[in-house]
């Protein structure tokens, strides 16, 4: 499962207003308001993940394992983005 967010706000998989995956180009494609926000420069943070969808975080002491135990959304690995269409 793929999932993503703009400025830490989750995006829905929606070819009208959200994102879709272009398998031929190996790219996530933004649509509607999500694409417009990126083009206007309103987006400062893009996150894309593969695997289980994020769940509500329950803070606990941070451990050096690549997870965000303290729920501050810092220090997590990110997938390099591709250009928007």
Give the pLDDT confidence score for residue 78 in this predicted structure.
46
**Calpha distance 8→22 (Å, rounded):** 23
For 20-45, what is the mean pLDDT? 94
Tokens of 27: 């790219």
Question: Residue 54's pLDDT band (boundaries 50, 70, 90)?
Answer: low
Give the pLDDT confidence score for residue 76 in this predicted structure.
54
For 7-33, what is the mean pLDDT? 92
State what percent of residues in the chain have pLDDT above 90.
Answer: 41
Give the pLDDT confidence score for residue 56 in this predicted structure.
74
């Amino acid at each position: 499962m793929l999932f993503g967010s703009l400025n830490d706000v989750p995006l829905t998989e929606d070819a009208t207003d959200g994102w879709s995956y272009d398998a031929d180009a190996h790219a996530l494609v933004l649509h509607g308001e999500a694409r417009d926000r990126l083009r206007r420069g309103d987006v400062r943070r893009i996150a894309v993940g593969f695997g289980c969808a994020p769940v509500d975080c329950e803070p606990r002491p941070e451990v050096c394992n690549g997870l965000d135990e303290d729920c501050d959304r810092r220090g997590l690995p990110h997938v390099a983005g591709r250009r928007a269409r």
